[in-house]
Amino acid sequence: MYPGYEQYWGAILANPNGVLPFTGRVATSGEIEYARFAQKTPHYVLSKTLDYVAWKNTRIVRNVEEIRKLKQLPGKDIHAVGGATLVCTLMNSALIDEFRLVVAPVVLGAGKALVKDVNKRHPLKLVDTKALESGKIRLTYSL
């Protein structure tokens, strides 16, 4: 997951008006804004194999216990923006406090499931709903 993140947001920073990998279009103004925010925000990359990442201000962590320790340190909230595997791993370790799910107006029919390897039931409390542009809806749950 991380290599794609670095490739996508790094491409925007390198050339905000260029055609992007994965999407084949140019970045929106909001994406450029996010890329610049991400550039100056500390990142943690959870990986068992990576030894180097190009993203500035980044620390590689090897397991969820390191994330548990990071969570206990003073500082701002941590956003887990990886894929479903990361989210399920964190959920199984009781490390997620809030879940923001954006539902896009499309039925894919086949593909990778949002939640596949969570090992028990997690009741969620609805905190907020918001209709977004292009027909998306954001559901915010606390755990």
Partner 1 sequence: MRRIIAALIASVDGLIEGPNGELDWVDSWEDPFDLLPQ
| Binding flag, residue 127, partner 1 (CB under 8 A) | no
Query: Please, which residue, 52 or 120, has the CB nearer to partner 1?
Result: 120
| Binding flag, residue 72, partner 1 (CB under 8 A) | yes
Token pair 């990142």: residue = 43
Among 26, 60, 61, 78, indicate the residue that binds partner 1 (CB under 8 A): 78
Residue type, 142: S
Query: Please, which residue, 50 or 94, has the CB nearer to partner 1?
Result: 94
Token pair 């103004």: residue = 29
Residue type, 92: N
Among 73, 120, 123, 131, indicate the residue that binds partner 1 (CB under 8 A): 73
Pairwise CA distance, residues 46 & 60, whole Å: 6
What is the number of other CB atoms lying within 10 angstroms of the CB of residue 117?
11
Query: Please, which residue, 19 or 132, has the CB nearer to partner 1?
Result: 132
Residue 30 · residue 37 · CB < 8 Å: no
Residue 50 · residue 60 · CB < 8 Å: yes
Phi-psi domain of 115 (left: phi exceeds 0; alpha: psi -120 through 50; beta: other): beta
Among 11, 26, 99, 122, indicate the residue that binds partner 1 (CB under 8 A): 99
For residue 96, what are its two tokens?
Answer: 């997620």
Among 14, 17, 22, 52, indicate the residue that binds partner 1 (CB under 8 A): 22
| Binding flag, residue 79, partner 1 (CB under 8 A) | yes
Interface residues with partner 1 (CB under 8 A) are 8, 22-24, 28-31, 33-34, 37, 67, 70-81, 83-84, 87, 90-91, 95-115, 130, 132, 134, 136, 138
